[in-house]
Structure 1
Amino acid sequence: MNFDIDKMTDLLNEKLVNWGEMIIKLLPNIVIAAIVLVIGLYIAKFVRRITLKLVSKISSNVTLNNLFSSVVYFAFIGIILFTVLSILNLDKAVTSILAGAGILGLALAFAFQDIAANFMSGIFISFRKPLKVGDIVQIKDYMGKVKMINLRDTVIETFQGKTVIIPNKEVFQNPIENYTILQKRRFDLSVGVSYGDDLEKVREITFNAVKDIEDLSQEDEVSVFFMEFGDSSINLSVRMWVNTPEQAIYNKVRSQAILNIKKAYDANDIMIPFPIRTLDFGIKGGTTLAETPIQMATANPAE
């Protein structure tokens, strides 16, 4: 038993001596690695500040700017750590870390591919700027005002008072109708008049009825076009530009245009015809006109 204890003691001493010798040999490398680590951390912070200033000149998205500068910062920290490990002759540890990071990154990419897609789409949206907070847009079936643009989703408040959160992948991959870029909006109002009306007179009266509506754009004229021969009317289109993209003003102008046109048509005996329907009582399986209650009552007045 004493022999075993002595043997273990000698082995432990030998290991400690070997480790001490290794530490003494690595002492210059340890000093250099410590210096590189400290200086590298200061440089990383400096690079982060510079990156944030440069990105802020390109993008006004504070969240994106902070994220990008943080990514650069941590990438620089990673380079410093790998450099320190190499100085300490821990190349195998570096290789193991890189292999583990690659496997972990691949696993995370599969697990969070939708999140990653939304995240990358948010970055592209922030740089391309197809829309911004306050814009009136339509994305897929949702129309409203943009309230927030995050890295993962875009928040829209519809004109019905609903808040819609749309993943940025859907925003990026679908057409975006932006009504705010031009700072004005056009709407086409369809009207039908009788075949018996004078079309030149209709055009003039329609134009005069809507040309002086408040909030119409002064840069664009009102246009009146006859579009088609309908089933019971000749259809025309009144095209007007509103001087703001705001939905409330848009609806107000459209409502006023309908009121003015109806009032002008009534004053000038222009008829907006109702749809005409023809009833056929002779269809097989139906009731003939002679068998209707009116005809039967006429045929038998005594009853």
Structure 2
Amino acid sequence: MDINTVTRILTEKLTTWGKDLIRLLPNIVIAAVILVIGFYIAKFVRRLALKLIGKVSHNATLNNLFASVIYFVFIGITLFTVLSILNLDKAVTSILAGAGILGLALAFAFQDIAANFMSGIFISFRKPIKVGDIVLIKGFMGKVAEVNLRDTVINTFTGPVVIIPNKDVFQNPIENFTTLSKRRFDLQIGVSYGDDLDKVKQVTLDAVKDIEDISKTQETTLFFTSFGDSSINLAIRMWIDSAELKIYKKVGSEAIMRIKKAYEENDIMIPYPIRTLDFGMKGGQTLSDMAVTLAGKDQDGESNYQSNS
């Protein structure tokens, strides 16, 4: 192949490319204009979406995420439109197919992360918990420190910081003690069978009525619950105008101290557990009868021994 042939082939190729470029020049101009306009529209839509979502959700991370998703959706639509104008339909089809396969692979590989992420989105919108709430989730009780898109951070009252995946938070019962801003303290007590129950009830209620943090709007109630082995059992229920654990424990401690002191002053007995020992093979024989029987057997044995000797 001589130089003339090479020159002719290159000339024909460049001429063909030049004709194609001239033919596509209007499409290229239109595509460039659409690309620029698309980017501006995407930015405008992102700001508008951020403003609208901010009225529904106050989670800045979640709001930025949704706004970014909407922004990239518009960018994607703009790019696919530009490629279609440039008659690059095959490239568009290949990109879509590759994106579908990649998305399917990522869905299988990161399904737990995706589950936690979606749960975080639902938690952000439903707001069953928020930062500062006192909650009990999966056996962990403490104050909510952070509510992220992937996990929830709880500062427990015993010291450790617990990070719970949002999937577990969303799929399990949540006990939120802060929602009502009050808690109920239940105290179980047992009194002697010989005590006057009307007196017990009045003395118990009078003992706790002046505790500082007990609610003045919720009635303190007392119910006798059962006949125990050695006591008549009762339960007193007191409402506390705070969800804080320190105040809850303080009220319980104060109630126990006051009730014990009141019972001592009014001769009300909190009985110890009583056990009855049965020394008979078939039951019904008392300890004194058993002692007499054993003493008689010992005397008979000693007399028989003396007579034999």
**TM-score surpassing 0.5?**
yes
Whole-angstrom distance in 2 between the partners of 1:206 and 1:9: 112
Shift of residue 280 of structure 1? 4.6
The residue number in structure 2 matching 1:17 is 15
Greater shift, 81-90 or 6-15, is seen at 6-15
Give the number of the structure whose alpha-carbon radius of gyration is greater: 2
- The amino acid across from 1:229 in the alignment is F
Q: 1:283 to 1:136 in 2, by over 3 A?
A: farther
Residue of structure 1 in register with 2:44 after alignment:
46
- Measure how far apart 1:162 and its partner are: 1.2
User: 1:233 is matched with which residue?
Assistant: 231
Counterpart for residue 145 of structure 2: 147
Pairs within 5 Å for 1:60-79: 60-79=58-77
Instruction: Output one character per residue of 1:2-61: Cα deviation in whole Å (capped at 9) or x when no partner.
Output: 44x544443333222222211111111111111111111111111111111111111111
**Could you tell me how far apart the structure 2 residues matched to 1:73 and 1:281 are?**
87
Unaligned runs of 5+ in 2: 300-309
- Cross-structure match for 2:267: 269
Q: How many residues align?
A: 292
- Paired position in structure 1 for 2:115: 117
Moved more, 118-127 or 9-18: 9-18
> Gaps spanning 5+ residues in structure 1: where?
none
Shift, 1:282, TM fit: 6.1
Amino acid at match of 2:173: P
1:215-271 Cα deviation digits (max 9, x unpaired): 111110110111111111111111010001111111111110011111101111111
SS of corresponding position for 1:226: strand
**Could you tell me how far apart the structure 2 residues matched to 1:226 and 1:90 are?**
83
Name the CA distance, whole Å, in 2 between partners of 1:77 and 1:164. 40
Alignment correspondent of 1:175: 173
Percent identity (aligned): 71
Alignment of 1:199-214 (within 5 A): 199-214=197-212
Query: Which residue number corresponds to residue 102 of structure 1?
Result: 100
What per-residue deviation string (whole Å, max 9, x for no partner) do you get for residues 41-98 of structure 1?
1111111111111111111111101111001101111011011111111111111111
RMSD over equivalenced CA pairs, Å? 2.2
Instruction: Tell me how far 1:139 sits from its aligned partner.
Output: 0.6
TM-score, with length taken from structure 1: 0.91
Aligned-partner Cα distance in 1 for 2:149–2:203 = 52
Q: Do the aligned residues in 1 keep the contact of 2:117 with 2:166 (CA within 8 Å)?
A: yes
> TM-score normalized by structure 2?
0.89
Identify the match of residue 55 of structure 2 among 57, 70, 76.
57
